[in-house]
Amino acid sequence: MMSVYVLTFIFGLVTLALLKIIYPPWNFPKNIPTIPFYVTFLTTLWDFDQEDIFNLYLREPLEKYGAVKLYFGSRWNVVVSRPELLAQMFKDEDTFAKSGNHIKIPYGVISAYTGENVISAHGAIWKIFRRTITPGLQIFDHRPMVEHADLFCSLISKQLAKNVTLCPKRTLSHPLATSDFESQSTSGEVVMPELIQRLSLANISKVALGLDIGTLTRDNSDLHEQLKNVKSNIFKALYLNFPMLDLLPIPSRRRARKYVEDFRRSLMKSVKANLVNNYTFEQTSFASSDLIRSFNREEISEKQLIDNIVIIMVAGHENPQLLLTSCFYMLAKHKSWQRKIREEVRDCNVDKLGELPLLNSFIFECIRLYPPLSQLINRCTTRKCVLGTDIVLPKGAYVGYNVMSTGRYKSGWGESADNFMPERWGASIDKIMNEWRHRKNTCNMGAFHGGRRACLGEKLALLEVRITMATVLRSFEWTLAPDWADRVTSAGPLCPLGLKLIFSELCTSE
């Protein structure tokens, strides 16, 4: 029989653990609101999406105070959204030091996935990573993206043709099948996530890593299959909220770890076969080639080489994938914009897409309302400090930013902040680009971060979105599938969830 003392001790420990979840640490600032701890778990337990959570619990306190205390990832954090606070955090890298998963939760499966890389690292090693991959992500050959956009259109056409012939049989045998590209059914209907992922994987692999991984030309690219295994296991709300569970011998987490290892091994096998063994890296300027050269000069370790190649692949396909999904969604919802932009891109050469006012203001408006990385918490204070004028943070506090809120601030964007209004960016391309730069510089637009740690893939991602949208607009028109539930992802990266569209091919004479 357990003694009363042991029981009291266990009860005490459980109570303490619960109190640590329910209440923020005593030394956290008292002059900003505390979001109730259970808010983070609502999307796991009920049918809430990120917009619901934002509107119900975050919007008001964030807009009023600019910062809140939020429980996430097994700890209390301070999350900011007011542009001045974002600017301070982005600028003062020494105080708000990057602290990626490899430091925050080194035991987590997610850390095994992306390791110590240019996005998560801090200090001298980050400088080496950034210096190494910058050239390959700024100067690149965009022609594969044009080819891939055409292949993407062929896949949509193929799907439409298949629907016409296979639809009745498939509909009867798989009435609920939606996730698998092969099993899409109703005429004209295309389930977008997998198709867009195949495109964005092909783009980043070819343009930044110099690899053809066949996601658009084969139905079962090995790397794609392995990545799907990783993703379906890694982004589970329970483990994102309680990463310490990864320390336990849970069979599904062991499986997740194995999927991560398989993916990393296959990716490096492909890099070796395509770039290293045949010395191609010596004559090419891909970001991967520069990383291999840096490894050969012993500036980075083999693990850091792999971690960085993995992050280019992961961040480089995932973020454009999210943005493309939001763009397809918004054009389906706003048919007048679909028509106007189709007209604008009709005879436009790829080199001139960046000069089109309607296309570019539309993309910027999608980013404002649906920033792919809506909230990130990956900085840790290196000393006691003051955020803004009076928010005192202790040393060792995790700090993050919520740009979904920044993009919808009424104080920054006016009463129409919630409305989709591409025209707010300006009428001429000069005005639009100036406004984009101004909003980024003042941190009213934080979707690509800013300052010294600004996203290195912005140029590539925007070009990818312009090329893809222009190409698809020339060949198809589309609407939302009537049976698709209009909602966004429940947590993590932000985009419409499981987007389903109805496509119809345009006549060439149109």
| Binding positions for ligand HEM, rule: CB under 6 A | 118-119, 130, 137, 208, 312, 315-316, 319-320, 323, 372-373, 376, 378, 447-449, 453, 455-457, 460-461
User: Could you tell me the smallest distance in angstroms from the CB atom of residue 41 to ligand HEM?
Assistant: 24
Give the H/E segment covering residue 164.
Answer: helix 143-173
Alpha helices in 175-221 (DSSP H): 192-209
User: Could you tell me the smallest distance in angstroms from the CB atom of residue 316 to ligand HEM?
Assistant: 3
User: Could you tell me the smallest distance in angstroms from the CB atom of residue 81 to ligand HEM?
Assistant: 13
DSSP at 451 = G
Q: Between 57 and 96, name the residue whose CB sits nearer to ligand HEM.
A: 96
Q: 3-state DSSP call for residue 419?
A: coil
Q: Between 170 and 368, name the residue whose CB sits nearer to ligand HEM.
A: 368
Q: Between 332 and 367, name the residue whose CB sits nearer to ligand HEM.
A: 367
Q: Between 42 and 240, name the residue whose CB sits nearer to ligand HEM.
A: 240
Say which residue the tokens 């909003």 belong to. Answer: 439
Q: Between 378 and 489, name the residue whose CB sits nearer to ligand HEM.
A: 378
Among candidate residues 118, 146, 179, 189, the one with its CA nearest the CA of residue 480 = 189
Q: How many CB atoms lie within 10 A of CB 353?
A: 19
Q: 3-state DSSP call for residue 74?
A: coil
DSSP at 55 = I
Nearest-angstrom CA–CA distance, 80 and 145 = 36
User: Could you tell me the smallest distance in angstroms from the CB atom of residue 491 to ligand HEM?
Assistant: 17
Q: Between 315 and 341, name the residue whose CB sits nearer to ligand HEM.
A: 315
Q: Between 340 and 453, name the residue whose CB sits nearer to ligand HEM.
A: 453
User: Could you tell me the smallest distance in angstroms from the CB atom of residue 349 to ligand HEM?
Assistant: 23
User: Could you tell me the smallest distance in angstroms from the CB atom of residue 420 to ligand HEM?
Assistant: 18
Burial pattern 132-161, b for ≥16 Cβ within 10 A else e, equals bbeebbeebebebbeebbebbbebbeebbe
Give the H/E segment covering residue 357.
Answer: helix 357-369
Nearest-angstrom CA–CA distance, 230 and 2 = 42
Say which residue the tokens 């049976």 belong to. Answer: 483
DSSP at 108 = S
Give the H/E segment covering residue 502.
Answer: strand 500-505
Q: Between 119 and 230, name the residue whose CB sits nearer to ligand HEM.
A: 119
The verdict on whether residue 455 carries a ligand-binding annotation is: yes
For 52, phi then psi, to 5°, come to -60, -50
Among candidate residues 107, 59, 98, 53, the one with its CA nearest the CA of residue 81 = 59
User: Could you tell me the smallest distance in angstroms from the CB atom of residue 308 to ligand HEM?
Assistant: 8
User: Could you tell me the smallest distance in angstroms from the CB atom of residue 295 to ligand HEM?
Assistant: 17
Nearest-angstrom CA–CA distance, 369 and 26 = 35
User: Could you tell me the smallest distance in angstroms from the CB atom of residue 215 to ligand HEM?
Assistant: 16
Residue with smallest beta-carbon separation from ligand HEM: 457
Q: Between 124 and 172, name the residue whose CB sits nearer to ligand HEM.
A: 124
Nearest-angstrom CA–CA distance, 211 and 199 = 14
Q: Residue 217 is encoded by which pair of tokens?
A: 């030309």
For 77, phi then psi, to 5°, come to -130, 165
496 touches 322 (CB < 8 A) = no
Bridge-based pairing of strands 189-191 and 391-393 is unpaired
Residues annotated as binding site?
Answer: 455
Residues annotated as binding site for heme?
Answer: 455
